[in-house]
Amino acid sequence: MIWHKQWIFGNWKMNGNLADNAVLLQQLAKINHDHALVGIATPFPYLSQAVDLLKNSQIIVGSQDCSSFAEKGAYTGEVSATMIKNCGAKFVLIGHSERRTYFNEQNQILRKKIDNALACDLIPILCVGETLEQRQARQETAVVGKQLTVLQGLSVNHIAVAYEPVWAIGTGEVATATQIEHMHAFIHREILSILGENVTIRTLYGGSVNANNAADILSIDKVNGALVGGASLKADAFSAIIANAQTE
Q: Which residues are catalytic?
A: 96, 164
65: three-class secondary structure by DSSP: coil
d(CA 137, CA 130): 11
User: Cβ(11)–Cβ(228) under 8 Å?
Assistant: yes
Terminal Cα-to-Cα distance of the chain (whole angstroms): 11
1: three-class secondary structure by DSSP: coil
Report angle CA 210, 212, 218 to the nearest 5 degrees: 70
Task: State the angle between helix axes of 18-28 and 235-243 in degrees (0 to 180), rounded to the nearest 10.
Answer: 30
d(CA 81, CA 141): 30
